[in-house]
């Protein structure tokens, strides 16, 4: 298992993982284009992938422009192996070396993702639209929290 920075060449496999998930699914897979992915990993922020045997099985993307976690998804066949925790830590460690601005994300209610973020030390901060919980992470909470 390898965690490395995502490149434009990874986008096709990133899209396969994104569309394989069973929670926080896209109502229309065309809503997130290859061009969107490229912009987020090359201009707006940075992304990471987890590879096993040359295949992307998970990815994470942070958006510095909106101080947001744009994506963190694992292929369902590779869940519960610690891949999400490793990608999450790599992404937040990098984010907080770039800025001390509070980071936020939205995730669907009553999902494993909601529990994952609570366990990782994120603070609930209301809702993001009608169908998502908004979570926030501050620099101090990350650097002084259970992740370090």
Number of domains in the chain: 1
pLDDT in the model for residue 32: 73
Strand partners, 45: 63
Residue 36, burial from CB neighbour count under 10 angstroms (0-12, 13-18, 19+): middle
Which CATH number fits the domain that encloses residue 139? 3.40.630.30
pLDDT in the model for residue 19: 84
CB 48 within 8 A of CB 68: no
Hey, CA dihedral for 36, 42, 45, 49, is it positive or negative?
positive
CB 10 within 8 A of CB 49: yes
Looking up tokens 């994104």, which residue turns up? 18
Structural domain boundaries, residue 139:
2-76+84-144
Question: Angle at the Cα of 65 (from 135 to 140), degrees rounded to 5?
Answer: 45
pLDDT in the model for residue 22: 65
pLDDT in tens, 29-63: 556 788 999 999 999 999 999 999 999 999 999 99
Which comes out higher in pLDDT, residue 18 or 11? 11
| CA neighbor of 64 nearest in space, from 33, 102, 10 | 102
pLDDT in the model for residue 20: 85
pLDDT in the model for residue 121: 93
pLDDT in tens, 75-130: 999 999 999 999 999 999 999 999 999 999 999 899 989 999 999 999 999 999 88
């Amino acid at each position: 298992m390898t965690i490395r920075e995502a490149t434009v060449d990874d986008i096709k496999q990133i899209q396969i993982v994104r569309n394989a998930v069973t929670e926080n699914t896209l109502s229309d897979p065309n809503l997130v284009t290859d061009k969107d992915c490229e912009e987020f990993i090359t201009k707006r922020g940075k992304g990471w992938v987890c590879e096993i045997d040359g295949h992307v099985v998970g990815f994470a993307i942070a958006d510095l422009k909106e101080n947001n976690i744009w994506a963190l998804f694992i292929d369902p066949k590779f869940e519960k192996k610690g891949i999400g925790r490793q990608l999450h830590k790599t992404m937040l460690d990098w984010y907080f070396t770039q800025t001390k601005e509070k980071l936020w994300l939205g995730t669907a209610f009553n999902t494993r993702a909601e529990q994952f973020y609570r366990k990782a030390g994120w603070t609930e901060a209301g809702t993001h639209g009608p169908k998502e919980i908004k979570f926030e992470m501050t620099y101090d909470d990350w650097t002084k929290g259970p992740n370090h």
